[in-house]
Amino acid sequence: MANLVIAEHDHGSLKSATLNVISAAVAIGGDVHVLVAGENASAAAAAAAQVAGVSKVLLADGAAHAKLLTENAALQVVAVAAGYSHILAPATAYGKSVAPRVAALLDKAQISDIIKVVDADTFQRPIYAGNAYATVKSSDSVKVLTVRGTAFGAAAATGGSATVESVTAVADSGLSSFVSAELTKSERPELTAAKIIVSGGRGLGSGEKYRELLTPLADKLNAAMGASRAAVDAGFVPNDYQVGQTGKIVAPDLYIAVGISGAIQHLAGMKDSKVIVAINKDPDAPIFGVADYGLVGDLFELVPQLTAEL
Amino acid sequence: MKILVPVKRVVDYNVKVRVKADSSGVDIANVKMSMNPFCEIAIEEAVRLREKGVATEVIAVSAGLLQCQETLRNAMAIGADRAILIETDVELQPLAVAKLLKAIVDKEQPGLVILGKQAIDDDANQTGQMLSALLGWGQATFASKVEVSGDTATVTREVDGGLETISLKLPAIITTDLRLNEPRYATLPNIMKAKKKQLDNVKPADLGVDVTPRLTTLKVEEPPKRRGGVKVADVAALMDKLKNEAKVI
Ligand SMILES: Cc1cc2nc3c(=O)[nH]c(=O)nc-3n(C[C@H](O)[C@H](O)[C@H](O)COP(=O)(O)OP(=O)(O)OC[C@H]3O[C@@H](n4cnc5c(N)ncnc54)[C@H](O)[C@@H]3O)c2cc1C
């Protein structure tokens, strides 16, 4: 058995989600190889080689991968796929875009968003916004999987000493091209890897209030900041803040939900947090059904008080 | 240019499903079924492109039970011009759906296929990407803005770090995210009109596609329950709990 992990990286370093995928591959058993498809990405490959549990890194370095276009990435995976029993990617925007292409090109089914490895053919995954967990067995010779990062601990970033092998990079497919990116700038920890998250919903009323109330709280806690879909739709914060079934899945040590009602789609993204605090003026809000500590009252009074106490 | 929009019939997003006592699945008997919300956004986008004169025809397609006809009528009430049902009672998995859709694409030759990014029942997020790969087309997943001019589509995508804009050579695949548009309500006159629109029925065998499942669901369970429900009196009490009980700050 041999596992191929599709690394998510920015050429210079690995994205943290890659470390969780490596843990899932280790749980499956057998060799763990990592594919880094990038341009001038030897630093990312060197980082992958350090990760505990990895025995080989394949570096596909070429212009086709400069912008991490998913069509090219999928062709690259297929080019090196022979011999692997499992191909794994993170269940991130990147992994979700690449892995199904790989599966279809190999004529294999994909199992999305696995949260547990039962055995080499069998995996558990959430369905219906996490309201049910399905145990799914694949009859395909190659398993293509995406991995929910919060369900697997991060592999140690150091301690490994894998070899890095260069493989020929594919040519550009010409199907798509990069135009521009508008990335949210933040000094804060990444949402999906943060230990503490302060998250705001429609109850905050506006983007100004979201920032005025939650930024000082998040600063004191060195927290990442998240939001409900309603807060993103209303333009309080950018789309990458959205936590939920169709946004980001998070599981920090502490999740503070402010002015969020707790719709099932939101709970799907945060109910595996270790400790949940909810601040909401409605004592019957569903968020209190999952909160370890609920504070009923006006967030405009309570949040500044909490910030002052910290 | 034709636009093809695959739509899925799913349990309505307001329903909290229950796991069956025998762990064989979730109980969907007698629950409200609706069009997957992301598919509704896809139909709306296609109809807008037709209204702008970019597209000439919007074709909705659904694969599954006969009842998917309702979903297709709904798509036509929003504005799709005609519809195709690929009727089967076999449990369809994303790869099989992608193969069925490829067969329809080969026949209809659309310039664009717009799909929802995920269905809210199995949350797989695969079909669009798989179809794109089978066709050898470019893809823009998680679209929040689409502009078509000539033979290119410029698509802004919601990615983990923010937004990314890419350009696709048509024909291509786009999958929708929540903020692409707000679907219109189907008005009564449009619901009536939709009843008269063309709805063709084909079978997977007519399309020469093998839809045998590759994955077997061994069991479906309730997720672990959270305890929850403790209310604290004030901020001081909360601070005390966080410091001394939960020890998270
Ligand atoms: C296909 C689909 C996908 C979706 N995906 C997601 C997703 O990924 N993530 C997500 O979050 N949602 C998602 N949703 C939306 C979800 O159903 C809810 O609409 C959304 O989560 C509600 O956001 P909210 O809690 O901020 O707003 P609301 O439900 O409006 O809640 C606002 C809360 O603020 C409280 N409040 C108001 N004022 C105050 C005050 N002064 N002090 C204290 N409390 C106050 C209110 O009591 C209320 O509970 C999805 C929906 C669909 C259909």
> What whole-number percentage of chain A has pLDDT above 70?
100
The answer, yes or no, to whether residue A78 has pLDDT greater than 80, is: yes
pLDDT digits (tens, 9 = 90+) for A132-183: 999 999 999 999 999 999 999 999 999 999 999 999 999 999 999 999 999 9
Q: What is the pLDDT at residue B229?
A: 74
In a domain, B150, yes or no: yes
Residues flanking ligand 1, CB < 6 Å: A 201-203, 228-231, 242-247, 259-261, 263, 265-266, 269, 280-282, 285, 298-300; B 13, 37, 120
The answer, yes or no, to whether residue A24 has pLDDT greater than 90, is: yes
Segment holding A2, helix H or strand E: strand A2-6
Mean pLDDT of A186-205: 96
pLDDT band at A58 (very low <50, low <70, confident <90, very high): very high
Q: Cα separations (Å) of B218 from A133, A134, A215?
A: 11, 8, 46
Tally of domains within chain B: 1
Decide if A9 touches B, using CB distance below 8 A: no
Range of the domain at B44: 2-244
pLDDT digits (tens, 9 = 90+) for B152-177: 999 999 999 999 999 999 999 999 99
User: Which position has the token pair 């894998």?
Assistant: A162
Mean pLDDT of A244-264: 98
pLDDT digits (tens, 9 = 90+) for B14-33: 999 999 999 999 999 999 99
Q: What is the sign, positive or negative, of the torsion defined by CA atoms of A266, B139, A111, A3?
A: negative
- Nearest-CA distance B48 → chain A (Å): 20
Contacts of B246 in chain A (CB under 8 A): 254, 274-275, 292-293
Q: What is the pLDDT at residue B228?
A: 74
What gap in Å lies between CA B97 and CA B124, rounded to an integer? 12
Decide if B165 touches A, using CB distance below 8 A: yes
Mean pLDDT of B209-230: 93
In a domain, B239, yes or no: yes
Decide if B166 touches A, using CB distance below 8 A: yes
Cβ separation of B234 and A103 shorter than 8 Å? Answer: no
In a domain, B249, yes or no: no
A34-68: b or e for each residue (b if 16 or more CB lie within 10 Å)? Answer: bbbbbeebbbbbbbbbbbbbbbbbbbbbbebbebb
ipTM of the complex model = 0.98
The answer, yes or no, to whether residue A83 has pLDDT greater than 90, is: yes
Q: Cα separations (Å) of B183 from A86, A144, B48, B158, B205?
A: 39, 34, 10, 18, 34
Q: What is the pLDDT at residue B227?
A: 79
Partners of residue A125 on adjacent β-strands: A134
Q: What is the pLDDT at residue A266?
A: 98
In a domain, B216, yes or no: yes
Least confident of A186-195, B44-53, B79-88: A186-195
Instruction: Give chain B's radius of gyration (CA, Å).
Output: 21
Task: Identify the CATH number of the domain in which residue B113 sits.
Answer: 3.40.50.620
